Amino acid sequence: MQLDLSIFNPKARSLIGLDISSSSVKMVELARDAKGAYRVERYAIEVLPRDVVSDGNIVNLEVAAESVRRAWKKLGTATRQVAIALPASHVITKKIIVAAGQRDEELEVLVESEANQYIPFALEEVNLDFQVVGAVPSSPDEIEVLIAASRKEKVEDRVAVAESAGLKPVVLDVESYAVLAAFELIEKQLADGGKGQIIALIDVGANVMNLTVLRDGQQLYVREQAFGGNQLTQDAARLFGMTFEEAEAEKRRNTLPEQYQSELLRPFLDAMALELSRALQFFFTSTQFNQINHIVLAGGCAVIAGADEVVAARTQINTIIANPFADMLLSDRVALVEKRLLADASSLMVACGLALRRFDE
């Protein structure tokens, strides 16, 4: 997206991945050592008050900016440049095929004329960007180009939050692409690097469950279902006479009364496994595929103890919790909280994917 803010082209060398989700602000900063190995320099999570972000829209810019500012202070870094992301629902993407060997200026004209045909808004109302994906395998004289467009106000809201917190947005990405960048690190942890295997990446957040089925880095299927951890928090608040924020904090600290486990948590995990298996059934009935080799659980709900076991028992599919940091080195300050990073890792997929943009060629 033009501005100084290109979706696809970071110029920053030092960069924080900033994920503003509906439940929290998450930040990750990565570095590389002399041998090219990734190192987790620092990370921070700041819980957002309820309804500050709703359906991906930032409803209260002031409170969101204050939460970002607090997360950045927790991070303890001098870096102010950030990569931010828009929810996939706010971005229109389309792949087009054009003749190879064109200059950027010629491609820009082509992209604009193509965008005019499929974007339901006037071009002056959107931020538009494109990236050359590569040659078309069946036709070496043509290239595939990915176009992305989003309403300007959606971009400006996120930029305004970061800037109000004293940060400088230099990269704008799409949350689903950031997750896939982090997922590549997880895929390498599987036998044979996951080659040829069909993997279901299931991200269960506060309100939404996203299913992405992949094979060798290619998306085979995407589905979104209304299901998330906020329901569990609401039930806990009701049962124990707390505010939503108190219940969320106690849930994260694992300090809710004893009956929480049997009366709320176990039924919630069973319901999550059921929703997840339904989503997989939709995949099987609407594609030619009839099996999944691995399930990778991500998002805030994946950190619930026993979630992977309940899902594996219902689906009979090998299930692992997403940890993009598993093969990374840790800075001294992160090594001190290694257990906490392990617990938080599955909810840091977007922030990790954004932080990886620092190393784009």
Write the DSSP symbol of residue 6.
Answer: B
Alpha carbon 121 to chain centroid, angstroms: 26
143 touches 97 (CB < 8 A) = yes
3-state secondary structure of 27: strand
Q: Work out the percent of the chain whose per-residue pLDDT is above 90.
A: 67
| Segments in 76-151 forming alpha helices (H) | 104-118
pLDDT tens-digit series, residues 258-303:
999 999 999 999 999 999 999 999 999 999 999 999 999 999 899 8
91 touches 179 (CB < 8 A) = no
pLDDT tens-digit series, residues 114-136:
888 878 888 889 888 888 888 88
pLDDT tens-digit series, residues 154-186:
999 999 999 999 999 999 999 999 999 999 999
136 touches 183 (CB < 8 A) = no
Q: Is the pTM of the predicted complex or chain greater than 0.85?
A: yes
**Beta-strand runs (E) in 125-277:** 126-136, 139-151, 168-174, 198-204, 208-215, 218-226
Which whole number is the average pLDDT over 217-222?
Answer: 90
Contacts of 46 (CB under 8 A, 6+ apart): 24, 25, 26, 67, 68, 70, 71, 74
Write the DSSP symbol of residue 15.
Answer: -
The rounded distance, in Å, linking the Cα atoms of 131 and 48 is 33
* Residue-averaged pLDDT of the chain: 91
Q: What is the CA radius of gyration of the chain?
A: 21
Structural domains of the chain, ranges and CATH numbers in brackets: 1-89+156-187+323-361 (3.30.420.40), 90-152 (3.30.1490.300), 190-322 (3.30.420.40)
Write the DSSP symbol of residue 241.
Answer: T
Q: Give residue 235's pLDDT.
A: 95
